[in-house]
Structure 1
C-alpha cells in the first residue's frame, strides 16, 4: 500500500479543512503525536477543552488531531459521542454491522469517518442530550464495537494512520447547513448508554460472594486507607491507581467519587507551569465517568498496598496489649 508522501504543512492544511465543521460547532480537539493515535499530553483528559481557533493556535505541523468526546464536546446539537467500529477481519464486517444496527438503528445516516487502516473500520458520530460513558457493546473474532464518550478521543479525519500512513477521511461528513433547518440526526440514547452494572455490594452477601461481586472493603475501610496515603507524596501514577481502586470498590458510586475528590483536594502542590497539581472536581468527574471496568487489576488491594508503602499497618498497637512484649509486632 502506498503511504502518504505529503509534507507536514500539507497534512496540517488537510486536517484544518477536514476539521472545519468540528471547530465551528465547538467540538473539543486534542493534539496527537505525528502519525499516531496517542495524545501528546499525558494528562489530556483533565486539561481544559480547546475548540475552534484556540485549538488551531496550539497545533504544530505534522501532528495528528483527536476529537474529545462526551462532556468536553458540548455543541449546539448536544454532547458529541462516537461509535468505534473496529473491523480487523473482512469476514467480520456483517457481524459488527448487525451489532451496530441493534444499538443504533440509524447508524448509516450518521456522520462517519473511514479509518486510515485501509479496511472496513469506521468512526460514527452522534449527539446526545447528556454525555455518554465509554463501554464495549460487543466483540467477536476480528471485530469490536464500542461507545466512545467522556474521557476518550477518536482520531479526526485528515490525520495519518500509524500503520498504513494513510489518512482518515470522511465517509458522511457533518451537514451543518441541513441541520440548521432540520436539526441533527436523533439517536436513541437508551441504546447507547452503558447498562447498569450489578453492584458488587449486593443485598444478599452470600449470593454476591458466590457471584464474585462482594467488595471486602467498606466505605470506612477505603477512607482509612486514603487517610494514610499522604496526597502530596503521590505522583500521578499512584494517585491514579488510588482513584481507580476506589472507583472499583465503590462500583463508581457518588460516595466513592466524593471520597477521592476530598482526598485529592488536599494537594497544595503546583505544576511546573504554576497550576494546581489537582485540577479540580470537574476534571476528576470527567475522568471518573470515563473509567472502564478493568476486572481485578486495580482494586482495594492496590489501595492497601499504597497505604502500606506509606507506613500504614493493618493493626494498632493496643490490639496486642495482652500479649507478652516479645510477641508483640
Structure 2
C-alpha cells in the first residue's frame, strides 16, 4: 500500500479529517471534476484512509448533505448560491437573506467556478433538496439529502480551487464557540402533517407517463431529471427505479437522455 502523506492530504483538503470525525459523510470525485469516482457513493461513503489516499493522488472530494451527514450539531446542509450575472447580485443576496437571515455567520466556501458560494449550516432534521429561488442569471438552491457539494481544497474543471472564504472556515473544534446560524426554515421546512388527513390516492402509472410526456427535455437539466426520478420513485413505490447513486456526473447534455431512462422505469 502506498504510504499516505497526512500533512499533504490536510494541506490539499483543509479540515477533512475533523469533519469526517464529527460524522460528515464524504466520497472521492474524479480529479478536477464534480463527478463521483465510483458508483454507490451515497450508499457507502469513503473511509478517511481512502479519502486521504485519493487526495494525495489528485482526486477531488465531496461532502454529502442531509441524512448521510448526521453530526452532534445536526445534519449538514448547504445553500448553493450561483451568480452567473454579476449585475443580479442584489437579487441573489435578497433571496439568500430571506432563506438564511444569519448568512453572514454561515460557513462559506468559494466555488472554483468563481461565480458561486456554498453556505453551510446544520439543521435538526435532514431536508430535501430543491430550488429556493431563481432569476435571470442567478439561482439559490438547497443541497439536502441525496446530494453533495464539492469540498474545499478540490480543483474545479477550470483549474481554480474551492476554498473557504476568509473568516468563514468550518472548524469543528470551535463550533461550540461559534454556533451554526439559525435558519429561517420557511420553504426549507418539511411540510407539517395535516390533522386527520386522508391518505393520498396512489397515482396510476398511466398518469405518471402522461405527465412525463408534457416535459420539455430541452428545459430540464441533470438535477431536474434526478429530482423527477426521485419523485417518481416516491409516488409509484417502484423498486425498479435505479438509485440516484447510480447516476454520476452533472452534465446537462445528458439531460434529454434521462427522460427516456425515467420513462422506461415508469413503464
Q: TM-score normalized by structure 1?
A: 0.58
Rounded Cα–Cα distance in structure 2 between residues aligned with 1:138 and 1:101: 12
Rounded Cα–Cα distance in structure 1 between residues aligned with 2:79 and 2:262: 32
Unaligned runs of 5+ in 2: 1-5, 193-198, 210-224, 247-254
Rounded Cα–Cα distance in structure 2 between residues aligned with 1:61 and 1:153: 21
2:137 corresponds to = 142
CA RMSD of aligned residues (A): 4.0
Closer, same or farther in 2 for the Cα pair 1:183/1:96, shift >3 Å? closer
1:186 matches 2:174: no
Per-residue deviation at 1:111?
A: 0.3
Unaligned runs of 5+ in 1: 1-8, 204-213, 223-240, 265-277, 279-283, 288-293, 306-329
Aligned to 1:31, the other structure's residue is in SS state strand
Rounded Cα–Cα distance in structure 2 between residues aligned with 1:245 and 1:100: 27
Closer, same or farther in 2 for the Cα pair 1:166/1:286, shift >3 Å? closer
Per-residue deviation at 1:103?
A: 1.1
2:162 corresponds to = 168
1:17 matches 2:14: yes
Per-residue deviation at 1:21?
A: 3.5
Closer, same or farther in 2 for the Cα pair 1:138/1:185, shift >3 Å? closer
Closer, same or farther in 2 for the Cα pair 1:149/1:111, shift >3 Å? same
The answer as to whether partners of 1:246 and 1:299 remain within 8 angstroms in 2 is no
Q: How does 1:211-290 map to 2 (within 5 A)?
A: 215-217=203-205, 247-248=231-232, 252-253=234-235, 256-257=236-237, 259-260=238-239
Per-residue deviation at 1:39?
A: 1.0
Per-residue deviation at 1:175?
A: 4.0
1:108 matches 2:104: yes
The answer as to whether partners of 2:51 and 2:61 remain within 8 angstroms in 1 is no
2:152 corresponds to = 157
Aligned to 2:14, the other structure's residue is in SS state helix
2:264 corresponds to = 302
Aligned to 2:39, the other structure's residue is in SS state coil
2:45 corresponds to = 49
Rounded Cα–Cα distance in structure 2 between residues aligned with 1:113 and 1:166: 13
Rounded Cα–Cα distance in structure 1 between residues aligned with 2:28 and 2:261: 32
* Cα deviation code 1:269-293 (max 9, x no counterpart): xxxxxxxxx9xxxxx6999xxxxxx
Per-residue deviation at 1:108?
A: 1.5
2:213 corresponds to = none
Aligned to 2:75, the other structure's residue is in SS state strand
Rounded Cα–Cα distance in structure 2 between residues aligned with 1:73 and 1:99: 25
1:88 corresponds to = 84
The answer as to whether partners of 2:75 and 2:126 remain within 8 angstroms in 1 is yes
Closer, same or farther in 2 for the Cα pair 1:298/1:81, shift >3 Å? farther
Aligned to 1:55, the other structure's residue is in SS state helix
Closer, same or farther in 2 for the Cα pair 1:216/1:129, shift >3 Å? same
Equivalent pairs counted in the alignment come to 229
Rounded Cα–Cα distance in structure 2 between residues aligned with 1:133 and 1:218: 26
Per-residue deviation at 1:104?
A: 1.0
Picking from 122, 127, 137, the partner of 1:132 is: 127
Q: Which runs of 4+ in 1 moved over 6 A?
A: none
1:38 corresponds to = 35
Which entry has the higher C-alpha Rg, 1 or 2? 1
